[in-house]
Amino acid sequence: MKAAIIENGKVANIAKVKDQAFAESQGWIVSDTAKIGDTYDPETGEFISPPPKPEPVPTEVTKRQAKEQLIRDGMYQAALDAIAAIEDPIEQAIADNYWQESQVFKRDNATLNALAKNGMGLTDADLDSLFKAASKL
């Protein structure tokens, strides 16, 4: 059997024990399901696992990954339209150059963010999701 060693309300370690009475005499909580890092609620006797850490947002994806994800999500043409809709010819040329010539698309790139938000109406969360999905392609 296993016992959880609790420190400051959290499972600090797990010990293999043969004798439940010994574990309890040490203040350990007998449990085969507790995991290190779980919170222990003494009122209910339950172990609560911390929520999973959110998936990190990649800082960059390749041009192929980005464009393929836009195609999969039905937004490829919207990206092209957003570039074409830029009124200032210099800004449009910069955006088109970024689109055509970049080998990687960087999440913090000002041109990319302006296209996504202003030209395509995407939020930061939308763009984060696109980068996460694209990084898996």
**H helix or E strand, kind and range, residue 17:** none
Name the pLDDT band for 95 (thresholds 50, 70, 90): very high
Domain coordinates of the chain in residue numbers? Answer: 2-48, 60-134
DSSP letter at 54? P
Phi, psi of 105, rounded to the nearest 5 degrees:
-105, 120
The 3-class secondary structure across 30-44, one letter per residue, is ECCCCCCCCEEECCC
Q: From CA 88, how far away is CA 90, in angstroms rounded?
A: 6
**Has residue 87 got a pLDDT over 90?**
yes
What is residue 56's predicted lDDT score, i.e. its pLDDT? Answer: 97
Averaged pLDDT score across all residues of the chain: 95
Global pTM value: 0.67
**Has residue 60 got a pLDDT over 90?**
yes
